[in-house]
Amino acid sequence: KIASEEAKRIGGEIIPLDLSAQTKERWGLVRRFPIGVISAISPFNFPLNLVAHKVAPAIASGNTVVLRPASQVAITSILLGEIINETDYPQGGVNIVPSGYEAADILLTDERVKMVTFTGSPAIGWELKKRAHKKKVTLELGGNAAVVIEPDANLDFALPRMIMGSFSYSGQICISIQRVFLHEKIYDQFMADFIQATKKLKMGNPLEEETDIGPMITLDAAKQTEEWVEEAVENGARTVLGGKRDG
């Protein structure tokens, strides 16, 4: 709905060219046209939402899209493709192409592809931008989200939002909290409250409603997180809760 609504406003602009006497009675007309084939690469953590972020604007602006979904969640994109095929949208307008990295390289280098849109890690994103050469590229990459809590902050308000921002989706989202800066006057109290609140979180099957924290996407992802914790401790950090992988 959002993309279809925005399609009403992408026709172009009319700009007055009145910066000089010679052009004060002239107007500039900007018109936008479909760019062509768009290559879209989506991640695993929001397998339908982030795919829609790419497919819907491409359709709304009159383009063809070739989507390469994350291999762990490809079935979600395939089901979306089947739904689109049941509509009157032209066949071939949306193409779902689950593939490995080698096959995905075609989506970056083929001259018929005019634009690349990618959501994922910074390391991969910037490398894809290099390989895309002169194509238009949009990147939505991982962040390093920080929280600053001042001494006059409402801690009852901040605490549940910190818990949600830290542990939602097992921390596997680009806006997951990475750093927290606490004023020394509230450090001890907030840390005690944060630890107690964290202990109450239930780990388990994400299909069960009472589960707060489910498993990470792969065993390798869990091992990497454990390695990051160990690296932090080696460089002076200390663990106040957990610190080891379960499973």
What is the residue extent of each domain of the chain?
2-141, 145-215, 216-247
* 3-state class (DSSP) for residue 179: strand
Q: Residue 116 and residue 130: Cα distance in Å, rounded?
A: 11
Q: Model-level pTM? A: 0.84
Instruction: Name the pLDDT band for 7 (thresholds 50, 70, 90).
Output: confident
236: left (phi over 0), alpha (psi -120 to 50) or beta: left
Please confirm, yes or no, whether 6 is among the known catalytic residues: no
What is the rounded radius of gyration, in angstroms, for the C-alpha atoms of the chain?
A: 23
Phi/psi of residue 93, nearest 5 degrees: -70, -35
Residues 28 and 15: beta-carbon distance below 8 Å: yes
- Is residue 174 part of the annotated active site? The answer reads yes
Question: What are the phi and psi torsion angles at 86 (to 5°)?
Answer: -80, -5
Q: What pLDDT, in 10s, does the model give residues 42-83?
A: 999 999 999 999 999 999 999 999 999 999 999 999 999 999
Catalytic residue among 25, 86, 111, 174: 174
Q: Which amino acid is at 186?
A: I
CATH for 145-215 (3.40.80.10, 2.60.120.330, 3.30.1490.20, 3.40.309.10): 3.40.309.10
- Specify the CATH number for 2-141; select among 2.40.30.10, 3.40.50.720, 3.40.605.10, 3.20.20.70: 3.40.605.10
Q: Which of 140, 184, 210, 231 is catalytic?
A: 140
Taking the C-alpha atoms of residue 67 and residue 190, their distance in angstroms, rounded to an integer, is 44
Dist CA 34 CA 114 (whole Å):
10
Confidence band (pLDDT; 50, 70, 90) for 148?
A: very high
Q: What is the C-alpha separation between 200 and 108, in angstroms, rounded?
A: 46
- What residues contact 151, with CB distance under 8 A and at least 6 apart? 183, 185, 186
- pLDDT, tens digit (0-9, with 9 covering 90-100), for 100-147: 877 778 889 999 999 999 999 999 999 999 999 889 999 999 888 999
**Bridge pairing between strands 27-31 and 12-16:** antiparallel
